[in-house]
Structure 1
């Protein structure tokens, strides 16, 4: 359950988890990990590696932001908007602490193509 989201949005997230083979609560766990990771000190290398490590709480893509993006697109419009609004401050904070890496492929998600300052 992600606090601040409606009951309907949380039910849709639970349905997404069941339909896609995620553990119950994995999207909420990804949200908490994204929140922690974007607020960590830039020189805290321990967090950098645990956020990207496959055992960091996500069963597929090791980056928690990818799990959130997949869940977002599976939701209905109102719930999608709620989740995006909850993620917006976290994404904005991450973007303010990073710069675009011009040497990465264009087809990868924006959160994979950033360099920490």
Structure 2
């Protein structure tokens, strides 16, 4: 059987046209590689439902870091969001921010998932160390919801 020469194959192969973004390229998430940031933005865009507007993971990660950022070893108490119904305000509660991070993890490809887990793991350890356990919390709730909280944050 005769073979086609490589030049003939290259000429007949269709080359895709230029790639254009319908919107500006997404910003890189602080602490993550560009590849992982792009995978996170893609997962947010393709996720079904209304709870993942673009930038939710970035906002949740920033909120989680900000809650744990002040120096010192005093106990910290998460506060419920004043307006927990809307997606933007719900991230005022650090527990909801951690929920958003936990929800996006299974939607990511393996490498991006591993990198995001590596970014969140030290924050989880610090959160566990600086918050106090709530003996009355429901056992079915994730571990970050089973910590003592006080008050409402926001307005």
TM range (shorter): 0.7 to 0.9
Q: Say if 2:44 and 2:53, in contact at 8 Å, map to a contact too.
A: yes
Which residue of 97, 100, 103 maps to 2:136?
A: 103
User: How many residue pairs get matched?
Assistant: 112
Distance 2:75 2:33 in 1: 36
Listed as ranges, the gaps of 5+ residues in structure 1 are none
Q: Say if 1:5 and 1:83, in contact at 8 Å, map to a contact too.
A: yes
* Residue in structure 1 matched with residue 110 of structure 2 by the alignment: 77
Q: 1:105, CA displacement in angstroms?
A: 1.6
* Residue in structure 2 matched with residue 3 of structure 1 by the alignment: 30
* Residue in structure 2 matched with residue 89 of structure 1 by the alignment: 122
Cα RMSD over matched residues?
2.8
Structure of larger gyration radius: 2
Task: Confirm whether residue 57 of structure 1 aligns to residue 88 of structure 2.
Answer: yes
Distance 1:15 1:109, change over 3 A: same
Structure 1, 79-88 or 36-45: larger mean CA deviation: 36-45
Alignment of 1:16-27 (within 5 A): 16-20=43-47, 21=50, 22-27=52-57
Structure 1, 26-35 or 98-107: larger mean CA deviation: 98-107
Q: What's the TM-score, normalizing by structure 2? A: 0.60
Distance 1:80 1:4 in 2: 14
Whose helix proportion is higher, 1 or 2?
A: 1
Q: 1:84, CA displacement in angstroms?
A: 0.8
Q: 1:59, CA displacement in angstroms?
A: 6.0
Indicate the SS of the match to 1:100: coil
Q: What's the TM-score, normalizing by structure 1? A: 0.77
